[in-house]
Structure 1
Amino acid sequence: MTTALQKYSKHLCVKNLILQACKCFDTIPDYRPNHCSNGIPFSNFAKSAFAMMHQKYDSLLSFDTDQADPVIRHNLETMYHVKDGKVPCDTHMREILDPIAPEEFRKPFKKLFSLVQRNKLLKAFEFKCGDLKDCYLMPVDGTGLFYSGECRCNECCVKNKGKRNESYYHNLMGGCIVHPEQKTVIPFAPEAIVLQDGATKNDCEKNAIKRYLAHVKREHPHLNLAILLDGLYADNPTIELIRSYGWHYIIVAKDGNHKSLIEAMNALCDQGNLKYHEITNKEKGTKHWFRYANNVPLNASDFAENVNVLDYVETDKEGNRHTWCWVTDIELTEETVEEIMIGGRCRWHIENQTFNTLKNQGYNIEHNYGHGKYHLATNLAYLTFLAFMVDQIQEMTSPEFQKALKERSKGVRTYLWKLITRIFLSWFLEGWDELFEAINKGIKPGRVKINTS
C-alpha cells in the first residue's frame, strides 16, 4: 500500500500541510485592544503552540526555554511560519490562547482533510461491503483528557460536587476514518466534553456525540460514512440521528443492555428463522461462526428501530472462544457478514491507533500545559490532535518520513520524534526537506577541538 500512496506526497508533504494549517491560524480574529500592532503578530500564538505540539514538547516551560535560542526562532519562522521570529513566552501564550473559541481550531482539520480528498488518498480507506459504494468506516469514542482535585476552569465538569473529594475533569470525543488493512488513521477535529455554556449539569458522551456528528455532517456533507460505536450508543435516538444524516452504522450490542433484542433473536431461532454461516481458516487454525437476522426490533418499544443483528463467535487454535454482537442497517447476507464483522472490529482503531498513540507515543495529550479560565486546555488538545493528523498523513504519503521511521529501531515513533527535535534544536534549517535529509543521510557527529596552546 505504501508504494500506491507515494505519488501523492508532493501535494501532502509536511511543508504544505503545515503551511495550510498556518493559513487557517492567520484567519483567527485578533481580539486584543488595537490589535497590538507593534507587538507579537496574533497568529504567532497559535503557530507557536502548534509547533510545540508537533515537536512533542512535554511542557510549555521547556518550549519557552528553548525558543530564546536564535536557532529555534529561525526554525520556527522557516518551518512553522512564525512571523519575524517573535515567539510568545509561556505565560503570554496561555493568556492569548485561553479566550479563543475552539471552533477556530476546527478550520485546519477541514482544510487538511480536503487535501486528502482531492488527492484521492481516501481510496485506500474505502469500505467495500455488498452494494456500498464510496463508504468509509468512522469509529467514534470518548477518552479522558484532564483530571485534577485542585485545578479548575469555567469548562470543567465536576465529580463528587460539594463533597470533600470534589474533583474536576475534561474529556474529549474523537473520531477518524479507518480501514482494516491500514495502520494509519485520518482523524477529524475532536469535540470537547466539557461543561456547556449556561448548563448546570455535567456534559456527557451521549450529548457530545450529537454535536460531534453534526460538525462532521456540516463540514463534510457529501462524505458517506459507516459509524462504529460501542454499546453505549445502541439506542433509538443515536440510530435515528445517524440515519437522518444518510449514514450507516455498526454498533456493539451488549447482552446486559439489550434483553428484548436477545429474546427476539432467541424467538427467531426457535422458529428456524435465523441464518448461519461458518468459515474455517486452516492456515491460522481459527473458526468463524455467524448467526444473523434482518429487521429485528431493537427493543420492546412501539417506536423501536428495526435493526439487522449479527452474532459472531471466533474460536482460535487453542479452542478459546470470543463472542461479539453488532446491530447495523447494512443488509446481512452470507456475502456480507464477514465484511461487517471485520468492519465492526475496526472500532478498536480509535483506541489502539488514535487515543493510545496520543497518550503513549510522545503526544502527551493528557498533560496539563496550562488550564486557563476558559478554553485553553481544549485549544491545546485540538492542536495536539492536529499535530497527530499531520504525522498520520505523512506516514501514509511521504517516502522521506516512511524511510526515517522504518530505519529507527523497530519503527518506534517516539525515537523518531526525539531525532527530529534534536535536529530542530541544533541546526539552522530552511525547511523540512533539509531536516529529513539530515535524518535519512545521517549527520556524522564531530569533535570539539580545544585550543591547548
Structure 2
Amino acid sequence: MRQQQREAGLSPPPSATPSNRTCPFRDNTEERAARTEAVTTLILIMRQMLPILLKRFGKIPDPRHPKKVKHKLTVLMLYGILVFVFQYGSRRASNGELTRPMFEANLRLLFPQLDALPHADTLFRLLARIDVNAIAHAHLELIQRLIRNKTFSRYLINNCYPIGIDGSQKLAFPTLWDEHLSQRRVGPKVDPDSDEEQDYQYYVYVLEASLCFRNGMVIPLMSEFLEFAPEQGEQRKQDCETKAFHRLAERIKNAFPRLPVMLLLDGLYANGPIMERCRSYHWDFMIVLKDGSLPTVWEEYRSLAHEHPEHRCEQTWGERQQQFQWVNAIRYEYGPNGKKFLEVHVVSCHEHWQVVDPKTAEIITKHACHVWLSSRPLSRLNVHTRCNLGARYRWGIEGAFLVEKHQGYGYEHAFAKQWNAMKGYHLLMRLAHLINTLARFSKALAALFVELGVQATIGFIRNTLTGPWLDPQEVEQRLQRPFRLRLL
C-alpha cells in the first residue's frame, strides 16, 4: 500500500513512535553529559519566562502573617509550577519526591531562590486565600511577551492566531463539597408516582482556550470555570458552556484587543449570538456545521452547491484525496422572528484514503466528510489553508485534554477540595503545560522528545535530578551561556 501511495504521489504521515532500541549511551560519561544537557536546556527555557512570572507573582498581596512567613510567596508559586513541570500527580507525591535531599540540592543548584522547599500543604493554604486570577494574569503576560517577540509568527492562518475553544469536565463527586459545583441527575429515571428521587452528581466543568497551530503545538491560553452561582432573588441557576463562551471571549478581547484571531469551534457554537460576537470583535472563525444544525443554512447550501461548478477544488493532501465544495454569502436569520441576520460561508470537504484492515490485513478505502462555517468567503486560494491548516487543527485542544488528563498533569485530580485552591492548582498546571510544550517544540530539545517520547523525556529529566548526575561547576557554566528560545 505504501508503495502504491508513493507511486501516486501521496505522502503518508510520519510516525511519531519513539525509538524501540536499547540505551544509546556507551558509558557513564556520555550519559552524564546527555542528562546535564537536557536539564540545563530546560532550565534555560524556564529562565526566559521566570522574570515575567516572578514579577507578576511578586505583586500578589500576601494574606499571611508577616512574622510567621517561612517561604516567600514567589517561592511557593515557583514550587507549584515545578510540581506540574515534573508531572507529580498529587500533593502527597510531590511531598515525597521533591523534598528528597539529592533532589532538593539539585533544585537549589538550578534555582538559587529556592533556599528551602515547602510542604505541599503550605502551597495549598496559600492558594486557598489569594486571588488565583493573578496566576492567569501572569500566564497571559507571558503569552503576550511571546507574541510580541513573534515567536509564533510562522504558524499563523491567514495572518490570524488560531484559537481553539472547547469544554471539558475536570472531575465529578457524589457529594457537594462546595456551592460552586455544577450538578446533574444520574441513574435511571424513577417512577413519577414514587417518592424516590434520582441521585445528584456534582462536577467541575472548565471551558478552555488554547492556541492550536498547524504543526501540532497547542499553547494553553485561558480557562473559564462554569460555576453554579446565585442569581437574582437568590435563585440558583446552572451555568452552561455557551454562557461561559461569552465570558471567555470578552476576557480574550480585553487581553488581546488588537490581536487578529481565528476561532476554531465545534458544532455547539454554530449559532447566531456567538457568530455575532465574533463579528463585533472583528474575529475570524471556522465552526463545525453538523447535520441538522442551522437547517435554513443547510437548505440554501444544498440548493446552491450545484449551481456554482467554479466553487470546487480537488487536491491531494498527505495520503488523502480531497474534494472541496463551497457556497459563499448565505443569509442566516436568527433571533426573535428572525429579526437578526448575518452572512456566512459554507464549505464541505469529502475525502478518502486507504488503510490496512487490522482484522483481515486487506487494503480498504475509508471516507469522511467535514463541513464548516467560515467568516470569510472561500476561494481556491484560501480553502486549503482555512480548512486543512486551520479548522482541522481544532483537534489540537482535544488532544491537549487527553495529555493533561492521562499523561502526567493530573487534570482530573482536584489537588484540593476547596474551590479557590482547586482553581489555583488548575491554573498552575496549565502554566506548567505551556512551559513543557515550548520545551518540546524548541530546537534545543526537539530531538530528545522525538527520540524518547514526551513523558519519557520529562521522566528522564526528573530522574536526573534524583541522583548525583550534575556537576555544580559544569551546570553553572552551561547556565551562563547565551540562550534564545527558538521553535521548530
> Over residues 151-200 of structure 1, what are the superposed CA-to-partner deviations in whole Å (9 max), with x where a residue is unaligned?
622321122299552111111222222232x1212221222223346572
CA contact (8 A) 2:333 2:340 kept: no
* Partner residue of 1:70 out of 101, 120, 125: 101
Alignment of 1:18-417 (within 5 A): 18-32=50-64, 34-79=65-110, 83-87=114-118, 89-128=119-158, 134-150=159-175, 152-160=177-185, 163-180=197-214, 182-196=215-229, 200-269=236-305, 272=307, 276-281=311-316, 284=319, 286-297=321-332, 301-317=338-354, 318-342=364-388, 343-352=390-399, 354-372=400-418, 374-399=419-444, 401-408=445-452, 412-417=453-458
Going from structure 1 to structure 2, the CA distance change for 1:222 and 1:291 (only over 3 Å counts) comes to closer
Going from structure 1 to structure 2, the CA distance change for 1:201 and 1:163 (only over 3 Å counts) comes to farther
The 3-state SS of whatever aligns with 2:222 is: coil
User: CA offset at residue 387 of structure 1?
Assistant: 0.4
Going from structure 1 to structure 2, the CA distance change for 1:44 and 1:287 (only over 3 Å counts) comes to closer
> Over residues 252-292 of structure 1, what are the superposed CA-to-partner deviations in whole Å (9 max), with x where a residue is unaligned?
1112122111112233347x357531314298362323232
Which residue matches 2:8?
none
User: CA offset at residue 243 of structure 1?
Assistant: 1.4
Structure 1 gaps of 5+ residues are: 1-8, 129-133, 439-453
User: CA offset at residue 213 of structure 1?
Assistant: 1.4
> Over residues 106-141 of structure 1, what are the superposed CA-to-partner deviations in whole Å (9 max), with x where a residue is unaligned?
12212221332233212121113xxxxx31211111
State how far apart, in whole Å, the 1-side matches of 2:121 and 2:318 are. 59
Amino acid paired to 1:145: K
Using the size of structure 1 for normalisation, the TM-score is 0.82
User: CA offset at residue 221 of structure 1?
Assistant: 1.6
CA contact (8 A) 1:172 1:190 kept: yes
CA contact (8 A) 1:139 1:177 kept: yes
CA contact (8 A) 1:293 1:332 kept: yes
Using the size of structure 2 for normalisation, the TM-score is 0.77
Going from structure 1 to structure 2, the CA distance change for 1:156 and 1:274 (only over 3 Å counts) comes to farther
Alignment RMSD (CA, Å)? 3.1
CA contact (8 A) 1:195 1:201 kept: yes
User: CA offset at residue 204 of structure 1?
Assistant: 1.6
State how far apart, in whole Å, the 2-side matches of 1:234 and 1:306 are. 13
User: CA offset at residue 77 of structure 1?
Assistant: 4.1
CA contact (8 A) 2:301 2:330 kept: no
User: CA offset at residue 236 of structure 1?
Assistant: 1.0
Going from structure 1 to structure 2, the CA distance change for 1:435 and 1:170 (only over 3 Å counts) comes to farther
Structure 2 gaps of 5+ residues are: 1-40, 187-195, 355-363, 480-488
Going from structure 1 to structure 2, the CA distance change for 1:283 and 1:142 (only over 3 Å counts) comes to closer
User: CA offset at residue 26 of structure 1?
Assistant: 2.0
State how far apart, in whole Å, the 2-side matches of 1:350 and 1:110 are. 18
Deviates more, 1:107-116 or 1:311-320: 311-320
State how far apart, in whole Å, the 1-side matches of 2:244 and 2:199 are. 26
User: CA offset at residue 12 of structure 1?
Assistant: 7.6
Going from structure 1 to structure 2, the CA distance change for 1:81 and 1:222 (only over 3 Å counts) comes to farther
State how far apart, in whole Å, the 1-side matches of 2:396 and 2:123 are. 33
Deviates more, 1:279-288 or 1:95-104: 279-288
Amino acid paired to 2:248: Y
State how far apart, in whole Å, the 1-side matches of 2:63 and 2:317 are. 65
Which residue matches 2:483?
none
Going from structure 1 to structure 2, the CA distance change for 1:421 and 1:197 (only over 3 Å counts) comes to farther
State how far apart, in whole Å, the 2-side matches of 1:435 and 1:98 are. 36
State how far apart, in whole Å, the 1-side matches of 2:477 and 2:95 are. 25
CA contact (8 A) 2:284 2:375 kept: yes
> Over residues 383-402 of structure 1, what are the superposed CA-to-partner deviations in whole Å (9 max), with x where a residue is unaligned?
11100101111222251x22
State how far apart, in whole Å, the 2-side matches of 1:435 and 1:232 are. 52
Q: Report sequence identity in percent.
A: 20
User: CA offset at residue 73 of structure 1?
Assistant: 3.4
The 3-state SS of whatever aligns with 2:261 is: strand
User: CA offset at residue 250 of structure 1?
Assistant: 0.8
State how far apart, in whole Å, the 2-side matches of 1:403 and 1:385 are. 24
State how far apart, in whole Å, the 2-side matches of 1:376 and 1:396 are. 31
Which residue matches 2:33?
none
Amino acid paired to 1:237: P
